[in-house]
A and B are shown apart, each in its own frame.
Chain A
Amino acid sequence: MTIKNALADIRTMKTLFTTAENEAAALGDEQPGAEHLFLASLSLDDDSARSALAALGVTADQVRSGIVRVHAEALEALGLDVATASVLGRSGSSRPLTGPYRSTGSAQDLFQRARRLSAADTSAPLRAGHIAMAAAEAEHGTIVRLFELLDIDRARLASTARAAVAG
Chain B
Amino acid sequence: MAEGTQTPSPDNPDEAFASVVALRRLAAALERSTVDSALAQGWTWAHIGEALGMTAQAAHKRLSPSRRAPLD
Contacts and interface: CB of A to CB of B under 8 A. Distances in A.
B58 interface: no
Contacts of A99: 68-71
Interface stretch (A58-66, A70-78, A118-126): A70-78
Interface size class of A (residues with CB under 8 A): 20 to 34
B52 interface: no
B30 interface: yes
A78 B71 CA distance: 41
Contacts of A144: 14
Interface in A128-158: 140-142, 144-145
A85 B29 CA distance: 8
A96 B66 CA distance: 8
Which of B21, B22, B30, B33 lies at the interface centre, i.e. has the most chain A CB atoms within 10 A of its CB? B22
A98 B25 CA distance: 21
B44 to A, nearest CB: 19
Interface in B1-41: 1-2, 4-5, 7-8, 13-15, 17-19, 21-23, 25-26, 28-30, 32-33, 36
- Determine the main DSSP class of B at the interface with A: helix
A92 interface: yes
B65 interface: yes
A32 interface: no
Contacts of A30: 28
B36 to A, nearest CB: 5
B66 to A, nearest CB: 8
B29 A28 contact: yes
A89 interface: yes
B69 A75 contact: no
Interface of B: 1-2, 4-5, 7-8, 13-15, 17-19, 21-23, 25-26, 28-30, 32-33, 36, 65-66, 68-71
